[in-house]
Amino acid sequence: MLNINVMKRSLIVILILTGILSWNCSRTIDKPSLKQSFEAGTAKINEALPVISQTKGFDLMSLSGDLNKSAEDYHDSITLDLIAGIYDFMPDTFICYRYMKPFWTFKKTGESDKMIVNLPQRMMFHPRYLLNVTPPDTVPVNDFTITASDYHFYYSFWNRYDYSLSAGLTLKSEDIGTLDVKAAGASFADQSYSSAFAFTDDYSILVTSEKGDTSVRSFALMEGDKALLKETSVFIWKDFRMGEKVYTVSVGNIDIVRTTGIDSIQVFLDGTLQKTAAAKITDVDGDDGSICHHRDILLTFDDGTTAKLSELIGPAREILKTLVDSMHSMYFAKHVVDYIALNIYYQPYFMRH
């Protein structure tokens, strides 16, 4: 009996030791190195951006150009309750005598606490048709829908404004994404905005900017609630000009941070400082200091090998640049959604009802 008990205890000890060893081995295997994490992070970026670029949401969010007709100054404040309802585009125009300019007609066809607008898709993807008030030869199909659940534009002189837009977009009744914009200005030197677009593949893009004594500019490429790529620049006034105080670029679980007053650029993996890793940030003269343009990151790993961010994300960076630049300008909100809202708002009362 004694031998049996001894054997049982020995077996238990062996099992415990085996479990500990297995756990330690698995823990070592499951934790990727800095190099592996960087390569995995850039691979996800390269996977995400080509998918995004093939969506209709990307086509809308990457719109750009000089559309001076839609850049006029309007001095009225508009709230959602003033333009709420269901509207259908009509291939006809009317003259707004207050501003002495032609507007498209949007016929109110139903009641809603939202602004729901049905119009031809070519006016969305090619805004020149939206701004050109010459009636088309054939009646276009209203196959694109904007559903704004939140919209207001409070305006006053001296760059004081408060703007909000939340809108879902559908093409031929299929969801193509959701846009959320917030912007505010107390003066020329005190302004902020954020613009986010959620695509249909669980990807989203967020850009923000704050201008004041301390200014912040950032963007983030997201998959669900995880940032695949994020860049943030913090500026402060120094010697009568804005200088970069903190710059951070995050690739997956890696953070690369440059801070004024610290001799070296710090590299973190899962929040832990990598003391043997090194990074170098390069800029081209006159650049705005963003990896979307000419700024680049050279990372040196523990084994002495190096990798450039621009080389690893390659063509994906061009897609990102197009998207981030357009969203920083709030192009789609300003030149498309606002233009439609103003059309509806300025229509004579009897044409809106």
* 149-202 per-position pLDDT tens digit: 999 988 777 768 899 999 999 999 999 999 999 999 887 778 899 999 999 999
In a domain, 23, yes or no: no
Number of Cα atoms under 13 Å in the Cβ half of residue 234? 10
In a domain, 5, yes or no: no
- pLDDT over 90 percentage in the chain: 60
The DSSP bridge partners found for residue 103 are: 94
pLDDT category at 286 given cuts 50, 70, 90 is: low
**Looking at per-residue confidence, does 349 or 216 come out higher?**
216
Tokens for 210, please give them: 């704050």
Burial 232-261 (b: 16+ CB within 10 A, else e): bbbbeeeeeeeebbbbbbbbbbbbbbbeee
Q: What angle do CA 327, 127, 168 make, to 5 degrees?
A: 55
Domain limits for position 274: 48-352
pLDDT at 20 over 50: no
Q: Are 94 and 105 in contact (CB under 8 A)?
A: yes
Q: List Cα–Cα distances, 336 to 115, 262, 275, 332, in angstroms.
A: 14, 45, 49, 5
Q: What angle do CA 307, 229, 323 make, to 5 degrees?
A: 110
In a domain, 17, yes or no: no
pLDDT at 151: 97
Counting the structural domains of the chain, the total is 1
In a domain, 284, yes or no: yes
Q: Are 193 and 182 in contact (CB under 8 A)?
A: yes
Instruction: Please return the burial class of 296, using the count of CB atoms within 10 Å of its CB with bins 0-12, 13-18 and 19+.
Output: middle
SS3 assignment, position 284: coil
In a domain, 29, yes or no: no
In a domain, 300, yes or no: yes
Of 34, 62, 44, the closest CA to residue 312 belongs to 44
SS3 assignment, position 98: coil
Of 122, 88, 168, the closest CA to residue 343 belongs to 88
In a domain, 10, yes or no: no
Amino acid at 343: N
- The 10s digit of each residue's pLDDT in 98-109 is 666 677 889 999
Tokens for 213, please give them: 């004594």
pLDDT category at 287 given cuts 50, 70, 90 is: low
- The 10s digit of each residue's pLDDT in 234-280 is 999 877 777 889 999 999 999 999 998 888 899 999 999 999 999 99
pLDDT category at 221 given cuts 50, 70, 90 is: very high
Tokens for 44, please give them: 């996800």
The DSSP bridge partners found for residue 90 are: 105
Tokens for 257, please give them: 């941070």
In a domain, 36, yes or no: no
What is the 8-class DSSP label of residue 68?
Answer: G
| Rg of the chain, C-alpha, whole Å | 27
